[in-house]
Chain A
Amino acid sequence: DTGVSQNPRHKITKRGQNVTFRCDPISEHNRLYWYRQTLGQGPEFLTYFQNEAQLEKSRLLSDRFSAERPKGSFSTLEIQRTEQGDSAMYLCASSSPRGHETQYFGPGTRLLVL
């Protein structure tokens, strides 16, 4: 059990560029969540996958955001045409089918849009 991993850990980009983040959940976890955390705030829910199906998306997830989990294992979060307001920490979490109430978080990807 190596825990939830996220790559890259840091990303600096210019406004208007596209960025993609990856999350690898704990191997047997079928549930995967993305959250966004801005400075001084708690994490806010973005989207949820059960296996490969995206079952819920927050209204925070604008049309510029897309998330996938093609084989029910790793997930990617893409932001198109980045804006300065997208600067935040993007957290991924996963949970087990047997203990789905408890989520295990990755270290996050810190995005800075210049």
Chain B
Amino acid sequence: AQTVTQSQPEMSVQEAETVTLSCTYDTSENNYYLFWYKQPPSRQMILVIRQEAYKQQNATENRFSVNFQKAAKSFSLKISDSQLGDTAMYFCAFMKPSTSGTYKYIFGTGTRLKVLA
């Protein structure tokens, strides 16, 4: 069974600085997707960035980028120029297409990020 591990329960960063959140996963699959979702306090989860395993190029979305190391099964999120609005719980998620058509996510336990003014 696939597992997702986020080893940093809490992190803090100064505004305008850069922070990296770690995620490792375990799978024997070759074709899968990885995601980072952000869950602000009392608000719904929103997609930050996604990575297809077959793509070697790391995904980027504005200030957010990933370091995808497929052989090491590592998928870290880098947030540059941190802003107060980045304060949230961040979840790493794994998904592989199944034969039944289910695209369920397997989530890590999350990293609570606080951006300090």
A interface list, Cβ under 8 A from B: 3-4, 31, 33, 35, 40-45, 48, 50, 55-56, 91, 95, 100-108
Contacts and interface: CB of A to CB of B under 8 A. Distances in A.
Nearest to A6: B44
Most B C-beta atoms less than 10 A away, residue of A35, A50, A91, A103: A103
Interface of B: 4, 33, 35, 37, 43-47, 50, 52, 91, 93, 95, 97-98, 100-110
Contact of B44 (A41, A44, A107): A107
B44 A50 contact: no
Given A42-B91, A42-B110, A108-B44, A103 B102 contact: no
A94 B3 CA distance: 22
6 contacts: A3-B44, A31-B103, A45-B106, A48-B102, A56-B102, A107-B43
A43 B108 CA distance: 8
A48 B95 CA distance: 14
B103 A95 contact: yes
Given A91-B45, A105-B46, A48 B91 contact: no
